[in-house]
Amino acid sequence: MTFSDIRLVATDMDGTLLNSKHEIHESFFPVFRKLKDHGIIFVAASGRQYFNLAKTLDAVKDEVIFAAENGSYVVFRDEEIHIQAIDPEITRELIVISKENKKHLSDHLREKEGLCRE
């Protein structure tokens, strides 16, 4: 297999690309450059939120596709490519039901600047 056979590389972040301290090893960036030089797309995939991933890969964030929130939110160069979200009305109903039953339900609503919580 050669670089010309590869079109895209996707990797999980925690425990794969990141070490136990949630840091990227310095050897990543030369490898990343080599991938880019060969026209290979790099995807950072994680259950984490996009803003956390973008901060972690800030040095190359405009060259990375982010598949965040277990793939439900995909972003490239701050453009939302894919969003798979729960309907806000269903979320509101769940919150009302949980309050009526004295159960705690955490709702995370994505906004451009981060997350807000109910």
Q: What amino acid positions are annotated as catalytic residues?
A: 12
- H or E, element range at 55: helix 50-56
3-state secondary structure of 23: coil
Calpha distance 30→25 (Å, rounded): 11
- H or E, element range at 12: strand 8-12
Strands 64-68 and 41-45: parallel
Task: Name the β-bridge partners of 14.
Answer: 18
